[in-house]
Structure formats: structure tokens, C-alpha cells
Amino acid sequence: MTVLEQPGAHRLAPPAAWRPRLDPAPLLPDERPHRLLGVGGSSGSDAPDGELLRRLYGLLVRGRRYNEQATALTKQGRLAVYPSSTGQEAAQVAAGDVLEERDWLFPSYRDTLAAVTRGLDPVEVLSLLRGDWHNGYDPRTTHVAPLCTPLATQLPHAVGLAHAARLRGEDTVALAMVGDGGTSEGDFHEALNFAAVWQAPAVFLVQNNGFAISVPLEKQTAAPSLAHKAVGYGMPGRLVDGNDVAAVREVLAEAVERARAGGGPTLVEAVTYRLEAHTNADDATRYRSAEEVEAWRAHDPLLLVERELRARKLLDDAGVREAREDADRMAAGLRDRMNREPELAPTDLFAEVYAEPTQQLRQQEQQLRAELRAEAESDGTAGGAQR
Ligand SMILES: Cc1ncc(C[n+]2csc(CCOP(=O)(O)OP(=O)(O)O)c2C)c(N)n1
């Protein structure tokens, strides 16, 4: 049998008979970031639903306050590190709000607000960043995967879960979040390729916040946009104004529905801006100008939604005050609970790492136990001498 007689030989057709396997045009992203707020105004027929918008506004106000409180906790020594999502709250809130209970969220270290919006306890969500525990919440019951610090590693996890759900006949969708820098990782490529080949019910949300620590987007990629990367994998790309909460939620809802109906994965690029430094340990003034930050402040996600709600007479000063008071109460509760001393067992470090601990881990655990015993004994002696 010659090569051309083998099954599937059409794939080896000579160049003259070659055709693209898929028309790339429907996969191309929006020409400009999709927007809803401030576009239709009060008369626009496709204006976002008022009730939904008011709810999203409340979540955004809480989200901004949560970011402020978490940043304050780093200054008080109550949180080891905090990668703020200030300025990115629209994407965070939309991602946390759009899923059904049976769906799964796969966040990165910056996406704690998405997890909190999904209904998780913020103290549990922040326990990793506090340095207390591998992960403070139960992924199995919350359907929120652990926060991933190694860039883009959450993406193949999401595809695996989505593919497995499909094989089991469940209509679960996995929404995975990643930064612009994470799109340069091998894991990003592998996840998107597998997702498209398997038609896995996965949605990839790239928050393009302009920077990977100090590296600006133009040094990260030569692609026309990050959403264009979708075409090469054979999935649709969507480009959305990441500060427009209604637009992000709409685009994500469409992608989730498409995935649930068996239509396969979507890549969504939300164009946004990280208003704060990378984390509390970073100094952003070293690599970007105050003018640039100010320009983005004029496109703040809270401003956009507040302006729209006021124009449609769905919000007044009292409503703004009420939302802020509600957010202040949430922040006070978070501060009080984070100020309590956690009770930690140092040997928990070794728990739930591997089903079968490695020889090295067992040795390290024994060493730690011996050190803790020695410390307790010497404390006892010191205490006795004082008495
Ligand atoms: C595999 C890997 N390489 C390097 C790092 C170090 N690192 C931590 S955050 C970061 C920048 C990530 O930027 P981006 O993906 O745009 O996400 P953002 O922090 O802006 O949300 C880098 C390089 C890491 N955590 N993991």
C-alpha cells in the first residue's frame, strides 16, 4: 500500500488540492474591544439589563474595597503578599459571577476577587497569600481550583477537568484565568491546543493588564492581539473592553453557553490595566509613567458602570452611599478576622502534598518534628529557669 492509499490519505493531498480544514474568518476576534457601557445609552435596545447592572455595580464596589483592604493588610503585616486586581475588578467580577454552581473556576494568584465573587470566604481565599496553608478552601466543594502561582499551570488543569466532564456526559464548563505574560508559557499553548482538538468545554480568559511585572505587552508578543492567538488553535477569539463589566460578562456568558452546548472552547482577551504595582513588593514607578496610570483611571471600571446607571436613573447618591457602606462592612469583617492569630501546625506543610510522600519529604518532616521537640524542650527549660 502506498502512502496515498492509506486511510486518511486525503490529509496528504498534493498542494494543488489543498484547502484550509476550517474557514478561519469566523474565528477572528472583534476588530475593536467589545463595549456595552456608555454605548447604547438609556435608549439603546441592546442596553444591558438594569437589574443585572445594579447587581454588578454592587459587586464592583465591594471588589474595589476588598482590594484596598487586602493591600492595607500587607502594610499591617497580616498578609505576606498581595497581587492587587485594582483596575481589573470588572473582569474579576464578571468571571466570578458568570458560572453555574456545577462549573469550575481556575484562577491565578491575581484572581482572588473572582473566587470571592463566586461566594468563597475571603479569609480562606487569602490563606495562601498569608503563607498559612497550601490552599485555604476546598476545591471539591467550592469548584474553585487552587490559586496557581507558576504561570499558566492552571490552564491544562482546566482543560483536563473540562474534557473529563465531557467524557462523563456532564455539562460542566471550566473557566480558566491567565495574565498576558502567561500567554507566552508552554502550558498556555498545550492547554489551548488540547482544548481545541478535544473540543473541551473550556473558556480561557486572558486579562491583558498591560504588564508581566515590568515587561510591557509589546515585549511579550508580536501577535496582532492576544485574542488572535485563538485562530491558530482553531477556536474563536473574542476581544472585549476588560473594564466594561457588562461587556465582559456578556462575552463570557456567550462563551460559557457555547462550551456547555458542545461548541468547544473560546479564548477571550479582556483589555484592562493593572492600576497598582505587580504586588506590594514591586515599585511600578520604575517602569511606567504617572500619565499612563492617570489615563487609565479615567477609564476605571467603577466609573463606567456608575455613569451608565446614573444616566439611566438606576442609581443616585443614596444608592452610591449604600453600596459603599455595604462594602465597608465587608472590609471591616475581613480586617477583624485577618487580625486574629491563626493556629498553625508547622507539620501541615507536608500534608496533602503527595498521596504517597517521597523519601525526602518523610526525612524533612522527621527533621522538622525533631526541631520542634527540641525547641519545646528548650522553651520549657528557659521557662523553668525564669520561674
Ligand atoms: C512559570 C513561571 N515563571 C515565572 C514566574 C515569575 N512571575 C510571577 S508573576 C510574573 C508575571 C506574570 O504576568 P502576567 O501573566 O501578565 O500576569 P499578572 O501578574 O499581570 O496578572 C512572573 C514572570 C512564575 N510565577 N511562574
Is 324 marked active-site?
no
The angle formed by the CA atoms of residues 19, 199 and 34, to the nearest 5 degrees, is 85
What is the Å distance from ligand 1's center to 261 Cα?
33
Residue 167, C-beta contacts closer than 8 angstroms, at least 6 positions apart: none
CA-proximal residue: ligand 1, atom 17 (nearest):
179
Average pLDDT over residues 40-55: 78
What backbone torsions phi and psi does residue 24 show, to the nearest 5 degrees? -70, -20
Query: Distance between CA atoms of 43 and 46, rounded to whole angstroms?
Result: 9
Question: Quick one: angle between helices 301-311 and 50-75, nearest 10?
Answer: 150
* Residue of 338, 331, 272 lying closest to 123 (CA atoms): 338
Query: In the predicted model, is pLDDT for residue 84 greater than 60?
Result: yes
Is 35 marked active-site?
no
Q: What is the pLDDT of residues 181-237, one digit of tens each?
A: 999 999 999 999 999 999 999 999 999 999 999 999 999 999 999 999 999 999 999
Question: Which atom of ligand 1 lies nearest, measured to the CA of 88?
Answer: 21
Is 274 marked active-site?
yes
Whether the predicted model's global pTM rises above the 0.85 cut? yes
Query: Distance between CA atoms of 280 and 278, rounded to whole angstroms?
Result: 7
* Strand locations in the chain (E): 104-106, 174-179, 202-208, 211-212, 215-216, 237-241, 266-271
Which residue in the list 157, 166, 274, 312 is annotated as catalytic?
A: 274
What is the Å distance from ligand 1's center to 281 Cα?
14
Q: What is the pLDDT of residues 133-154, one digit of tens each?
A: 889 999 999 999 999 999 999 9
Which mutation among 155, 213, 287 tests ligand 1's pocket best, with the greatest number of atoms within 8 A of CB?
213
Is residue 231 within 8 A of residue 237, CB to CB? The reply is yes
Query: Distance between CA atoms of 259 and 261, rounded to whole angstroms?
Result: 5
Quote the percentage of the chain above a pLDDT of 90.
85
Cell, residue 37: 457601557
The residue behind cell 474557514 is 23
Cell, residue 253: 456568558
Query: Distance between CA atoms of 179 and 114, rounded to whole angstroms?
Result: 14
Query: Distance between CA atoms of 19 and 30, rounded to whole angstroms?
Result: 25
Query: In the predicted model, is pLDDT for residue 23 greater than 60?
Result: yes
Question: Which atom of ligand 1 lies nearest, measured to the CA of 208?
Answer: 16
Tell which wins on pLDDT, 104 or 21. Answer: 104
What is the Å distance from ligand 1's center to 178 Cα?
9
pLDDT recorded at residue 270: 98
Which mutation among 109, 111, 151, 209 tests ligand 1's pocket best, with the greatest number of atoms within 8 A of CB?
151
Q: What is the pLDDT of residues 310-342, one digit of tens each?
A: 999 999 999 999 999 999 999 999 999 999 988
Q: Which residues pair with 177 in a beta bridge?
A: 205
Query: Distance between CA atoms of 287 and 141, rounded to whole angstroms?
Result: 41
The single-letter code of the amino acid at 110 is: R
Band of the pLDDT at 8, cuts 50, 70, 90? low
Tell which wins on pLDDT, 128 or 9. Answer: 128
